[in-house]
Amino acid sequence: MNKIINPILKGFNPDPNIIRVDDDYYIVTSTFEWFPGVQIHHSRDLVNWRLTGQILNKTSQLDMLGIPDSCGVWAPQLSYHEGTFYLVYTNVKSFDGQWKDTPNYLVTSQDISGPWSAPIFLNSSGFDPSLFHDDDGKGYLVNMILDHRNNTFFGGIILQEYNKSTKKLVGSIKHIFYGTEHGRTEGPHLYKKNNTYYLLTAEGGTSYEHCMSLARSKSLAGPYEVHPDNPFITAKYDPDNYLQKTGHGDLIQTQNDEWYAVFLTARPLTKLGRCITGRETAIEKIEWHKNGWPYTTHGNKAARMEIEAPDLPAHPFKSRPERDNFESKKLDINFQSLRIPMTEDWVSLNKRGGFLRLTGRESLSSCHRQSLVARRVQAHHTVSQTALEFMPDNFQQMAGLVCYYNTNHYHYLHISGGDFGLEDNKRYISIISCDNHDTTEPVTKIEINAAGKVYLKADFNGAQLQFCFAIEAIDTNPVWQSIGPVLDGSILSDDYVENSTVRFHPCFTGAFVGMTCQDLSGQAKHADFQYFEYVEMEQ
């Protein structure tokens, strides 16, 4: 029997929402401060998945300039009704302190690949919006409501009608669900089956207490009764399970009336430990019992690493090459930038053929205009490398290879210049590590003035991160030498960052690896990268 191997979307692909349109399945996931917004994956068999793009690719749809870390796009929801795709999403502007700013928007398209419309503002009462299309064609928006009073925060689930003709929310707002004893009720999705409305929510927070809760009602506005064995999917009672943090998800019915649930998950490096691959997406098979409630087919709340695939024709996709030689005029789909689009003025494949040129701008701690292009770390052991040509004039000009979590947590192998006014234009290679605002240089700078091209490598194996560099190659193979000590790569995780911060701030992404360039002097010095290679060492 064909098997699905979990997670189906590895490495920082949380809050999955799934739909089926004829024989095609689509999952969208959260992207937070990374641009473009909303990852979309495609499958025809629920086994094989391919990243097809990101939906929000214009600043008119997604303005994130200056937003804090882990804000931006939260929990997008995709739906399809009468030939139109609907995407609702939150663009979180602030999340520190008593007040939260969470505007919710809607964009539409006749084609999953776009173009997508200009955004329609819906509300800002809370996050995790979801659009439900009832049998009579009417639309209804549900979202969690933020309650700032007495630090309540999670105020339950509200519902309001959405008029598709006027493109506005209309009528009264109804509070339909307060949640269960698991608390932190969010991520609502509505379904209708056998004239009964089902409300799926995420509860327990997004870490090791996370779970999927289900309630139902004969009336859309409630009252809702809770699943008799709630939560129906969670790992909170099984700390040794391979898949942890299971929650925030969605349900899907196949063409052959098989049912599955997709949900957020994570793979810790140690028991209930740190997760460098962030929050990912997994799937589990479910079945409906005579009592009208869904349960997992294997009878356990904890999800499995391998599950039965649906009765659908296999549809594998061609794998993408591990090395990008920058010969195309379009950057690989796996690369994203921070907060703003990748535009020709700072990232270019045209200014020098066969190279990616990054123009130096702001520091790695900036929430505005960084010159950073990176991809997700999607396995527990990866090796990434690049080669660059960079001639800095001073120490304020830097470029290199970075392993990055957010503006306050990263390890950066880079080339920089010397002091201002030196006539010999010396170049140096070194490491900068940032851990909760504390920036250190764990290795003495090494002079590489004679080198033209410099090769950089990051061997990221679990919690251990070893940087290497080379200034010569034999038959195109770099002659690597280690630089600096083995660094703690596990600080690039939600679990570490949340626990190391004095006051709560959202920590919802995952480790990235990529290329970056800074010019803190404002002179726009550029670096040319010849290739980027990313290899997953584990099966």
pLDDT tens figures, 240-265: 999 999 999 999 999 999 999 999 99
Q: Are 309 and 45 in contact (CB under 8 A)?
A: yes
Q: Examine the pLDDT at 179 and tell me if it is beyond 70.
A: yes
pLDDT at 119 over 60: yes
Nearest to 374 by CA among 510, 513, 489: 513
pTM of the entire predicted model: 0.97
Contact 99, 114 (CB under 8 A): no
What's the rounded Cα separation, in Å, for the pair 488 and 485?
A: 9
Say if residue 167's pLDDT is above 60: yes
Confidence (pLDDT) at 500:
77
Q: Which residue has the tokens 């470029």?
A: 399
Which of residues 206, 228, 250 is at a domain's end? 228
Residues in the chain: 539
Q: Does the structure show a pLDDT above 60 at 423? A: no
Q: Which tokens is 303 given? A: 């999800």
Reply yes or no on whether the pLDDT at 422 is more than 80. Answer: no
pLDDT at 501: 66
Residue that finishes a domain, picked among 210, 228, 246: 228
* Mean pLDDT within 309-319: 96
- Asked whether residue 287 is assigned to any structural domain, the reply reads no
Question: Which of these three, 228, 243, 260, is where a domain ends?
Answer: 228
Do residue 219 and residue 329 come from a single domain? no
What's the rounded Cα separation, in Å, for the pair 451 and 390?
Answer: 10
Collapsing DSSP to helix, strand or coil, 332 comes out as: coil
The two structure tokens encoding residue 21: 């349109």
Average pLDDT over residues 352-375: 98
CATH code of the domain containing 517: 2.60.120.200
492-519 average pLDDT score: 88
Residue 301 placed within a domain:
no
Residue 382 lies in a domain: yes
- Same domain, yes or no: 506 and 360: yes
Closest by CA to 85, choosing from 58, 107, 53, 54, is 107
pLDDT tens string 23-59? 999 999 999 999 999 999 999 999 999 999 999 999 9
- Please say if the pLDDT value at position 1 is more than 80: no
pLDDT of residue 420: 77
Q: pLDDT at residue 452 above 90?
A: no
- Judge whether 284 lies within some domain: no
Residue 288 in any domain: the answer is no
Nearest Cα to 364, choosing from 391, 331, 314, 399?
Answer: 399
Domain count of the chain? 2
Give the contacts of 215 (CB within 8 A, at least 6 positions apart). 177, 180, 198, 199, 201, 224, 225, 226, 227
Looking at residue 72, what is its pLDDT? 98
| 2 is a domain residue | no
Q: Which residues are catalytic?
A: 15, 186
Do 223 and 330 share a domain, yes or no?
Answer: no
Is 281 among the domain residues? Answer: no
- 171-185 average pLDDT score: 97
Residues 50 and 179 in one domain: yes
Distance separating alpha carbons of residues 116 and 436, to the nearest angstrom? 38
| Per-residue confidence (pLDDT) for residue 10, from 0 to 100 | 98
- Residue 503: the pLDDT is 55
224 and 328 co-located in one domain: no
237 in a domain, yes or no? no
* Percent of residues, the chain, with pLDDT higher than 90: 92
Residue 524 confidence class, pLDDT cut points 50, 70, 90: very high
What CATH number does residue 89 fall under? 2.115.10.20
The amino acid sitting at 320 is R
196: containing domain: 14-228
